[in-house]
Amino acid sequence: RKMSSRRPELKAPPQVYYGVDEARKYTQNSRIIEVQEKCTERALELLALPDDTPALLLDLGCGSGLSGEAITEHGHMWVGMDISPAMLDTALEREVEGDMLLADIGQGVPFRAGMFDGAISISAIQWLCYANSASQKPAKRLYKLFMSLFASMARGSRAVFQFYPENDSQVELIVSQAMRAGFTGGLVVDYPNSSKAKKIYLVLMTGGGSLPSGLQDEGSSSSSQALYQRRERMKQIRSGRLPKRAWIMQKKERRRKQGKEVRLDSKYTGRKRSNKF
């Protein structure tokens, strides 16, 4: 991502770049899957949600649902937004558990005030730093996103954006528009001395709180073992050895035995949806 010629943001608008072929390729690439999972696990950690309490989260730029699967695994509900119909169709084919909306996050978040307990975004917000037409102004689109997001979040909640900036100017643009919209917080940089593992997270808060520290030693994240276990379970599901509904029911039963609150079973549990975006 350091070479500008390799940046997908410079090749085409996201809804064009992530067409049918690219959406499937993206979702089947084992390296991309691993990176997305690790980034999502870290973003959820940075949200600092209350233990054992299901939350409703917003996934901005949810794509094919790779990050949504991690949210579901943590026992939370989620709503996703993405501008690519092909990505969302792939998510439907993969039978992810969240509800999804075809929308441009640069036009704002169209939800009622105080609806979400938190928000995450994995590798998406940098797309708003580029104008795909004369009418698109990156600063205005970022401000629209952050202003509407701030309104839609419960007080005291957080939003975490993992992103790949092209340069320092993009970082400054994104952070400044978030602060202008009313958020507090700042950047958390994991593994700053590693060219390969370095990850940048923008942690935004709607209330008080201190900014978490970045990870210094790769592999020190407490979620590593949980990530491995979840990946093994997802391999079973994808290979057909464990039907998704059965996996969900097993997970619910484990949480009940632990005394945790879970949603009631219904005919929609592990449902397959056939509609297209």
How many CA atoms does the CB half-sphere of 18 hold within 13 Å?
A: 24
Report which residue type is found at 198: K
pLDDT digits (tens, 9 = 90+) for 84-129: 999 999 999 988 989 999 999 999 999 999 999 999 999 999 999 9
- Which tokens go with 53? 């309490």
**Phi and psi torsions of 149, nearest 5°:** -65, -45
pLDDT digits (tens, 9 = 90+) for 224-271: 555 556 666 666 655 655 556 676 777 777 667 666 666 777 765 666
Reduced to 3 states, what is the DSSP secondary structure of residue 53? coil
- Which tokens go with 120? 């995450």
Dump strand ranges (E) for the chain: 56-60, 77-82, 99-102, 116-122, 153-163, 184-190, 199-205
Report which residue type is found at 3: M
Integer Cα distance of 76 and 263 in angstroms:
10
Per-residue confidence (pLDDT) for residue 265, from 0 to 100: 74
- CA 129 vs CA 75, 78, 90, 182, 209: distances in Å: 33, 26, 26, 20, 28
Integer Cα distance of 145 and 103 in angstroms:
12
Give Dmax (Cα) for the chain: 57
Tell whether pTM > 0.85: no
pLDDT digits (tens, 9 = 90+) for 176-208: 999 999 999 999 999 999 888 899 999 999 987
Integer Cα distance of 108 and 130 in angstroms:
16
CA angle, corner 70, sides to 68 and 75, nearest 5? 95
Residue whose structure tokens are 């036009």? 107
- Which tokens go with 277? 């975006």
Strands 116-122 and 153-163: parallel
pLDDT digits (tens, 9 = 90+) for 33-71: 899 999 999 999 999 998 878 999 999 999 999 999 999
Reduced to 3 states, what is the DSSP secondary structure of residue 249? helix
Neighbouring C-beta atoms of residue 145, cutoff 10 Å: 25
What residues pair up with 116 in beta bridges, in sequence order? 153
Integer Cα distance of 21 and 26 in angstroms:
9
